[in-house]
Amino acid sequence: MTTRSGSARYEGFGKDGKGHVSTQSGVLSDTPYAFNTRFGDEPGTNPEELIAAAHASCFTMALSFALARAGFSDGTIETSAKVTLDKDGDGFSITKSELDLKATIAGIDAEQFAAIAADAKANCPVSKVLNAEISLTHSLNS
């Protein structure tokens, strides 16, 4: 079993507050986040882009391992994710994560690729934790 951690600190409240987020690995270390990094263009991060990066990286790794199990060993896969935050009553909900996959894999046909990618989408751990619509579009260069 693997356990990873992250932490957040927020000073002040509401729109005037300023936060910092850190990860166990140190890749993020007191990285700023606040209302304007989430809903505006201020430099810093926000929970939705962190979830998008986590989903894209988790799915891509799951797909990589699935392709290896299927006997493929040569190619590249690149995934971007767009996470949607929608108004939900008095608050907000993450309602969608759109995965966009581009791949070049020697010797795979489009039908097999689509099936392996769909399985990776359904079974990567981040997909399993998200209670949102998850879509996948892909293009294959063979």
Q: Which of 77, 72, 62 is nearest to 120 (CA)?
A: 62
What are the pLDDT digits (tens) for 51-65? Answer: 999 999 999 999 999
Q: How far is Cα 71 from Cα 107, in angstroms, rounded to an integer?
A: 10
Kind and range of the H or E element at 78? strand 75-88
Q: How far is Cα 74 from Cα 26, in angstroms, rounded to an integer?
A: 32
What are the pLDDT digits (tens) for 106-123? Answer: 999 999 999 999 999 999
Alpha helices (H) along 3-131: 35-39, 47-69, 110-123, 125-129
